[in-house]
Amino acid sequence: MTTNQVRREAAKRKLEHQQKRRAERARRRQRVAIITSASVVVVVVVAVVLLSTVGMPGGGDDTAAAPPPAEPTAAGTPASIPTELAALPARPTPLPATVSCDYPADGEAAKPVQPPAGADISAEGTVPVTLQTSAGAVPLTLDRALAPCAVNSFVSLAQQGYYDATTCHRLTTDPGLQVLQCGDPSGTGSGGPGYSFADEVFPELTYGRGILAMANAGPNTNGSQFFMVYGDGELPPNYTAFGTISPEGLQVIDEIAHRGQDGANSPGDGAPVEPVTIEQAVVG
């Protein structure tokens, strides 16, 4: 065999070896691709199963008549906030032009303050109040025709500086109840002005975005704490509504809600993650 023939045979064997290696690599790549595809399918199936069960009470109890509402995110922010303003409630029977209000002593005041006068309290007209907060201004309009005794008390407390330098201690973000609660100088949720007054409610009373109402600890236990409904307000008519929040003020509260709450009371109920302080409550 000539030298040239030897070289050709060697080259042929080398080429055949290279082709064999390439074929083997191709087969390995095909096997890897098949395994990867199968893994992706498994992951997708698992994800679909998880998404179909997460957020369902009781781990997906099939006795539920309808899917549950969306839950707040893990950060304690609302899943969504309704944008439509609620209509201001109206009393089915108007009050007389003036009423009498009673503010009996009730416990120790969280901050020194005098109870308001209770005779000949106007039940007509409105009172503008602006809460200057650390998050921005929240203008309110108090409605005497709706709840004259609550308006009288709130104005008196504001004029005495009771609300100044106090924190808003509670934020709820659950679907169904979305409120920011303030008015307790102790910041604990149990403080009050040292007096109470009766509820001013009626069966037709409803709540929703933009409504301002008194917090309470049961019937006729109103004091200084109030809540501002920035979204849903699915509550029984047990809370004295006494005014509204301006659209500009609602934007401020929306931003507070989007920053979240710490879930200290429940997953949808806690203190604002970013503390909110009423620096001053200004009447007029």
Q: How many domains does the chain have?
A: 2
- Number of H-type helices and E-type strands within the chain: 4, 12
Summary mean pLDDT of the chain: 82
The pLDDT > 90 percentage for the chain reads 74
CB 98 within 8 A of CB 123: yes
Per-residue pLDDT of the chain (284 residues; tens, 9 = 90+): 444 443 444 444 444 444 444 445 444 444 433 333 333 333 333 232 222 222 322 223 332 233 333 344 446 999 999 999 999 999 999 999 999 999 999 999 999 999 999 999 999 999 999 999 999 999 999 999 999 999 999 999 999 999 999 999 999 999 999 999 999 999 999 999 999 999 999 999 999 999 999 999 999 999 999 999 999 999 999 999 999 999 999 999 999 999 999 999 999 999 999 999 999 999 99
Q: Determine how many CB atoms are found less than 10 A away from the CB of residue 108.
A: 9
What are the structure tokens assigned to 52, written together?
């179909």
* Secondary element (H or E) of residue 220: none
Asked if 164 and 253 sit in the same domain, the reply is yes
The residue range of the domain holding 64 is: 1-68
N-term to C-term CA, the chain: 115
In a domain, 93, yes or no: no
Q: Determine how many CB atoms are found less than 10 A away from the CB of residue 160.
A: 16
pTM of the predicted model, to two decimals?
0.74
Residue 176 backbone zone (phi > 0: left; psi -120 to 50: alpha; other: beta): left
Asked if 126 and 10 sit in the same domain, the reply is no
Asked if 219 and 104 sit in the same domain, the reply is yes
HSE (CB half, 13 Å, CA atoms) of 6? Answer: 3
In a domain, 92, yes or no: no
Using DSSP, state whether 108 is helix, strand or coil.
coil
DSSP state of 212: E
Sheet containing strand 166-167, edge to edge, reads 166-167, 277-283, 126-133, 136-143, 241-245, 211-214, 226-233, 177-182, 170-172, 269-270
Asked if 175 and 47 sit in the same domain, the reply is no
- Say what the pLDDT of residue 236 is: 98
- Say what the pLDDT of residue 75 is: 63
Burial of 107: CB neighbours in 10 Å, binned 0-12, 13-18, 19+:
middle
Using DSSP, state whether 265 is helix, strand or coil.
coil
In a domain, 90, yes or no: no
Asked if 145 and 192 sit in the same domain, the reply is yes
Asked if 49 and 143 sit in the same domain, the reply is no
Closest by CA position to 278, among listed 206, 223, 228, 217: 228
Q: How far apart are alpha carbons 35 and 40 in whole angstroms? A: 9
Q: Of 48, 68, 88, which one is at a domain's C-terminal end?
A: 68
